[in-house]
Amino acid sequence: MDSMQRLSDLDAIRRLAAHDGSLYTSDIDVKQKIAHRMGWTDLAEKAPQRIPLIRTLAKTLTEEGAKDIVLLGMGGSSLAAHVMSEIIGSAPGMPGLRVFDTTNPLVIDNALRTLDRSTTYFLVSSKSGSTIEPMSLYAIFRSWMEEEFPRPRAGKHFIAITDPGSALEKLRERDVMRLTLNTPPSVGGRFSALTLFGLTPAALIGIDVAEMCVRALEMERRCHADTPDNPGAVLASFIGDSHAKGMDKLTLVTSQGLGPFGLWVEQLVAESTGKEGTGVVPVLEYDPTTPPGYGTDRAIVVMRFRHDDGLRRWAGTVSEKHPVIELEIDDSLDIGAEFVRWEHAIALLGLLLEINPFDEPNVAEAKSATNDMLAGTLNPPTAVADLNGMWATFAGDLSDTPAPEDLTAAASMILDSLRPGDYLATLAYLPDHGGLMNHLRAALKRVSSATEVATCLETGPRYLHSTGQLHKGGPRTGVFLMITARERVDVEIPGQDLTLSRLFRAQAEGDFLTLAAHGLRVARLDLPLADTKSVAAIAAALVTAARA
């Protein structure tokens, strides 16, 4: 039976829209928890109620001279806003958006030195109100703001976005922040693109959120229709049928300018499906070429502008060997509709995979390991080789790997562990900018072409709130190369016996040990500095090893 028929037999379209938790389980408690996380299915319909407030806020901040809107958030509270900012961009005369979903001290130190207090406004975004990354950054930037402005004026530069009654809402009252914007408790983070987590930053930089939501509403209606061309069901069935045939590497290829959408898809797919030993591995393709050198485990989604004939032809060529589905959009505002399509598709895909797409059972493991690292009850991983100042460590199912003589040998040991159907995830605790990442991205593309193994480049600690669930709870087909750096730059976190550098490193080492504890294949290269020369050396070693 194909996936579309299964969805029809289960009456899945109607039951999903009706928030019927029994669609996924017969367990009473679990069923209720699932139902409580299905409030996203009509967000586009409800959007007009929220838009006047955030438009008024945007007008007020602009009149006050706002030049930079800084979003402090992680995962679901930041990725949709990041995507909208990167793809659509700020309207003329409106502020720009900077998203800080990191604890990297290099990034934050640079922000403290370059931002203008008087024209910078902060969105502190956290569903729970206690997420360590945004709350640590809030403490840093609040102290920085109060160095120049008295407490009440400083507070006007901060806006909380959170669930009602959260710890952040209480902190907002205590610290006299400007206001709290509440989000629906019944909407999980990765399904929250059309809540105030996504719409507020978009409105503040002048994006036409009303028109975007009109398009999202049309998609929402189509995804609620019990018809053969239901967009969410069609996409879910494509992914589900491909997965059933062993094609679990879902490769997203986009028109130029739409690439950032993949970061949001990555979290939605990985965190929703990567559990109970199964899952779909999202792979972002930034530079489609023919022939692509894909293995037999690929299923391909092409998301393109309607006029992109080059990508249309590429899709036609690749479809001769791999399953391909094409999603066409007219312009960048259509990403509002794509949020809706993908959310419905992945919720239905969970049903096809027989898992709960709304929980994230393994995410807490890395958080716990980070806390243990900070408390000193967990020891850092021990390096087995010093490669000209670059420390190499192997753990988990690679723990018996002998000490490599040089960087190329270390890369060879990692790549030699790859088997057909695996994926290589590079977990880079580095500043997320082109100068560094482009070296790794180009090298990983060549590794993938040479080995026919899917490669993924993830930025830490962002991935802990995104693909981290898949890494630990999904299929045991991942090989993980973590890249860290022993930077000397640091930033104090006010009110805590902790610095940003210490937190950043604890997050990396905690996840490394968690992956190793699962018996996965894990390696680490710890650089003296996060500089282009060191990263380029790793990239070159990977390419050389792949050719061998």
**Are 284 and 259 in contact, with CB atoms under 8 Å apart?**
yes
Instruction: Tell me the C-alpha distance between 149 and 84, whole Å.
Output: 31
Instruction: Tell me the C-alpha distance between 154 and 73, whole Å.
Output: 20
Q: Is the pLDDT of residue 175 over 70?
A: yes
CATH code: domain of residue 509? 3.40.50.10490
Tokens, residue 167:
């710890």
Tokens, residue 424:
């290589």
Instruction: Tell me the C-alpha distance between 414 and 538, whole Å.
Output: 12
Q: What mean pLDDT do residues 200-211 have? A: 98
Q: Is the pLDDT of residue 185 over 70?
A: yes
Instruction: Tell me the C-alpha distance between 448 and 336, whole Å.
Output: 32
**Are 194 and 46 in contact, with CB atoms under 8 Å apart?**
no
What φ, ψ does residue 250 adopt, rounded to 5°?
A: -80, 110
Model confidence over 449-490: pLDDT tens digits?
A: 999 999 999 999 999 999 999 999 999 999 999 999 998 999
User: Do 433 and 538 share a domain, yes or no?
Assistant: yes
User: Do 413 and 342 share a domain, yes or no?
Assistant: no
- Quickly list H helices, 64-182: 79-87, 105-114, 132-146, 151-155, 167-175
**Are 70 and 100 in contact, with CB atoms under 8 Å apart?**
yes
Q: What mean pLDDT do residues 411-424 have? A: 97
Q: Is the pLDDT of residue 1 over 70?
A: no
Residue 428 lies in a domain: yes
Where does the pLDDT of residue 435 fall: very low under 50, low under 70, confident under 90, or very high at 90 and above?
confident
pLDDT at residue 304, as a whole number: 98
Instruction: Tell me the C-alpha distance between 368 and 510, whole Å.
Output: 8
User: Do 134 and 168 share a domain, yes or no?
Assistant: yes
User: Do 412 and 308 share a domain, yes or no?
Assistant: no
Domains: count for the chain: 3
**Are 252 and 262 in contact, with CB atoms under 8 Å apart?**
yes
Model confidence over 349-390: pLDDT tens digits?
A: 999 999 999 999 999 999 999 999 999 999 989 999 999 999
Residue 358 lies in a domain: no
Residue 542 lies in a domain: yes
What is the pTM assigned to this prediction?
0.97
User: Do 532 and 389 share a domain, yes or no?
Assistant: yes
User: Do 435 and 476 share a domain, yes or no?
Assistant: yes
User: Do 374 and 395 share a domain, yes or no?
Assistant: yes
What would the DSSP string read from start to end of 268-334? HHHHHH-BTTB--EEEEESS--SS----TTEEEEEEEETT-HHHHHHHHHHTTTS-EEEEEESSGGG
User: Do 331 and 386 share a domain, yes or no?
Assistant: no
Give bridge partners of residue 323 from the DSSP assignment. none
User: Do 501 and 384 share a domain, yes or no?
Assistant: yes
User: Do 524 and 500 share a domain, yes or no?
Assistant: yes
Q: What is the mean pLDDT of the chain?
A: 96
User: Do 225 and 373 share a domain, yes or no?
Assistant: no
Instruction: Tell me the C-alpha distance between 405 and 391, whole Å.
Output: 12
Could you tell me the end-to-end alpha-carbon distance of the chain, in angstroms, rounded to an integer? 44
Model confidence over 305-355: pLDDT tens digits?
A: 999 999 999 999 999 999 999 999 999 999 999 999 999 999 999 999 999
User: Do 254 and 307 share a domain, yes or no?
Assistant: yes
- State which residues form the domain around 152: 43-207
